């Protein structure tokens, strides 16, 4: 059973303003909620319908109640109220590690997919420019499929942070449409991969810190698409740099 | 100006049943509508607001009118009514070509992203099992970013079609979680890449035709995600097989 206050609270968390005010977010679906429960992220409350059969303690609600508060078109039987961590922790040392920088990424699904990709390719840190979509957006949380619990997302002044790493000789690779063919590039063992905004690419301010411009070659027979989706481009480049590092 | 009948028609096309009945679909946004107008797909009508500045002839409508019929959260100034082509054409000869087979893909955005990926990597044909999401879903059309005009999507009995190609010695690669490392695989110059359903992978019936099981290795440090998103996996494998073929 959900109280009126709980319904109001959960629904308010579909909205960024209230997530910021309360420092809470919601996560839905068996796999995602179980992964978060098994992570340092604090789960405050779990509600589930009769469909949920996993090990997590929860308050039972009806499918109608769930549909009322769910952010999904097709609710998945379980919803959790979680605490937004205080911070993503200190900036990492990148002498032997890779990180991803997202310059003004706007689509919540893209951000969530990039987090899942980073997790798959062993990249623990993502830097987002302050204008980027928020990581606790329900669509982002959902698209991470649980990787949100394992990847640190830092909201930073991207231009400044990249200059700092550049001054420490961390190579900074910018994904562009005109750079060097990614398959003719020898990647370093560490670095930052910069992915631009879906429509406008990498901003001028961020571009200044890029030390290597790279591009994924197109194999289209005639006129193909102008670009790849931002998350897809991230995956193709991460796959290539890990292949080389093997 | 939009008539009541037009408003009703356009809104009905958000729904699969009406797309099937009328054989029409909608496309939105400058780039997408211009790409479709420049393709064999027949555009029946274009409406745009004062924001649209491209070359296409259109009927002027207000932002309020557009918001009323748009399938997008943020309408993009232009919407076109298009005709669904009679068929995707004959099945291709794959003696020297690659195709992608989608076994029960369910997410409309994933299907659209796969179409854009196929176009980028020079793959002109996609086979979808009959239960897969429909290609003229507004979210799919949108995610193709125009590639829908250049890639042929065939809805087929996937088990049967794959058996046919297999009997013609076309290699069939199935993306799984346990197959051979994709970076230790030498890809043929032609073939079919089979991608399974988002939650359940490749079905038993389709699996029987697979001649090579492959997997994208995970580089996660500890426990990482169970899998990659279906479109992301498609991209990583297409990139690798094209890299090898260069």
The total of other beta-carbon atoms located within 10 Å of residue B96's CB is 7
Q: Which pLDDT does position B47 carry in this prediction?
A: 97
pLDDT at residue B246, rounded to an integer: 80
Q: Locate all alpha helices (DSSP H) within chain A, ordered by sequence.
A: 4-12, 16-22, 30-37, 63-69, 108-120, 138-144, 158-167, 204-207, 230-245
Q: CATH 3.40.1280.10 occupies which residues in chain B?
A: 98-245
pTM of the predicted model as reported, rounded to 2 decimal places = 0.95
Q: How many A-B residue pairs are in contact by the CB < 8 A criterion?
A: 109
Classify strands A152-156 and A125-129 as parallel, antiparallel or unpaired: parallel
Answer whether B224 touches A (CB < 8 Å). yes
Residue B31 CB neighbours (<10 A) = 15
Residues of chain B neighbouring A220 (CB-CB closer than 8 A): 119-122
> What confidence category does residue B219 fall into, taking pLDDT thresholds of 50, 70 and 90?
very high
The confidence score (pLDDT) of residue B182 equals: 97
Delimit the CATH 3.30.1330.30 region(s) of chain B: 4-83
At residue B222 the predicted structure's pLDDT band, cuts being 50, 70 and 90, is: confident
Q: State the virtual CA torsion across B236, B184, B106, A145 in degrees, nearest 10.
A: -70
Burial of A1 (0-12, 13-18, 19+ CB in 10 A): exposed
Per-residue model confidence (pLDDT) at position A87: 84
B226 touches chain A (CB under 8 A): yes
Residues of chain A positioned with their CB less than 8 A from the CB of B232: 113, 116-117, 231-232, 235
Q: What distance in Å separates the CA atoms of residue A18 and residue A16, rounded to the nearest whole number? A: 5
The whole-angstrom separation of Cα B22 and Cα B25 is: 9
- Closest partner residue to A120 (CB to CB) among B220, B231, B239 is B220
Q: What is the pLDDT of residue B140?
A: 97
Contact B124 A150 (CB under 8 A): no
Which of the 8 DSSP states describes residue B55?
S
Closest CA to A210 of A158, A146, A157: A158
Whether pLDDT at B87 is above 90: no
**Contact map slice: B 19-48 vs A, CB within 8 A:** 31
- State the pLDDT at residue B186: 97
Q: Looking at domain B98-245, which CATH architecture does it have?
A: 3-Layer(aba) Sandwich (3.40)
Place of tokens 């169970």: B226
Model confidence pLDDT, tens digit, residues B105-164: 999 999 999 999 999 999 999 999 999 999 999 999 999 999 999 999 999 999 999 999
CA distance A143 to chain B (A): 9
Task: Say yes or no: A50 contacts chain B, CB-CB below 8 A.
Answer: no
B4-83, superfamily in CATH?
Ribosomal protein L30/S12 (3.30.1330.30)
Q: Which two tokens mark A8?
A: 């109001």
Q: How far apart are CA B25 and CA B108, in angstroms?
A: 14
| CA A115 – CA A150 distance, rounded (Å) | 9
Report CB contact under 8 Å: B120, A229: no
End-to-end CA distance of chain A: 52
Strand partners, A28: A79
Q: Which of residues 103-162 of A touch B (CB under 8 A)?
A: 109, 113, 116-117, 119-122, 124, 143, 145-147, 150
Give the pLDDT band of residue B197 (cuts 50, 70, 90). Answer: very high
* CA angle in degrees (0–180, nearest 5) for B216-A154-A161: 105
Q: How far apart are CA A23 and CA A242, in angstroms?
A: 36
Report helix, strand or coil for A48.
strand
- The Cα–Cα gap between B82 and B36 comes to 9
How far apart CA B69 and CA B49 sit, in angstroms, is 13
Q: Are A102 and A114 in contact (CB under 8 A)?
A: yes
> For residues A156 and A100, is the Cβ–Cβ distance under 8 A?
no
Q: What is the pLDDT of residue A85?
A: 92
State whether B150 and A223 contact (CB < 8 Å).
Answer: yes
- Mean pLDDT, consecutive 10-residue segments, chain A of 246 residues? 94 96 97 93 96 95 96 94 91 97 96 98 97 96 94 96 97 96 97 95 96 97 91 98 93
Mention every residue, 6+ apart, whose C-beta is less than 8 A from residue B99: B92, B123, B124, B125, B126, B127, B191, B192, B193
Interface pTM, i.e. ipTM: 0.94
Task: Give me the percent of chain B exceeding a pLDDT of 70.
Answer: 100
Helix%, strand%, coil% for chain A, nearest 5:
35, 20, 40
């Amino acid at each position: 059973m959900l109280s009126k206050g709980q319904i109001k609270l959960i629904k308010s968390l579909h909205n960024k303003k209230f997530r910021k005010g309360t420092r809470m977010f919601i996560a839905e679906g068996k796999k995602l909620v179980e992964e978060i429960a098994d992570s340092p992220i604090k789960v405050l409350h779990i509600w589930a319908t009769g469909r949920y059969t996993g090990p997590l303690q929860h308050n039972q609600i009806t499918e109608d109640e769930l549909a009322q508060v769910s952010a999904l078109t097709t609710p998945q039987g379980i919803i959790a109220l979680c605490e937004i961590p205080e911070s993503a922790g200190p900036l990492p040392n990148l002498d032997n590690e890779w990180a991803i920088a997202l310059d003004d990424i706007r689509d919540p699904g893209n951000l969530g997919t990039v987090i899942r990709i980073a997790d798959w390719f062993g990249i623990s840190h993502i830097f987002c420019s302050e204008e980027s979509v928020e990581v606790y957006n329900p669509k982002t949380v959902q698209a991470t499929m649980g990787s949100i619990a394992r990847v640190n997302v830092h909201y930073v002044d991207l231009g400044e942070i990249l200059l700092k790493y550049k001054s420490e000789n961390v190579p900074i690779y910018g994904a562009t449409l005109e750079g060097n063919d990614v398959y003719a590039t020898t990647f370093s063992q560490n670095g930052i991969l910069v992915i631009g905004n879906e429509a406008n690419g990498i901003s001028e301010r961020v571009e200044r810190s890029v030390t290597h411009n790279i591009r994924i070659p197109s194999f289209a027979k005639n006129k193909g698409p102008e670009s790849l989706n931002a998350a897809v481009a991230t995956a193709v480049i991460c796959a290539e740099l890990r292949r080389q590092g093997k």
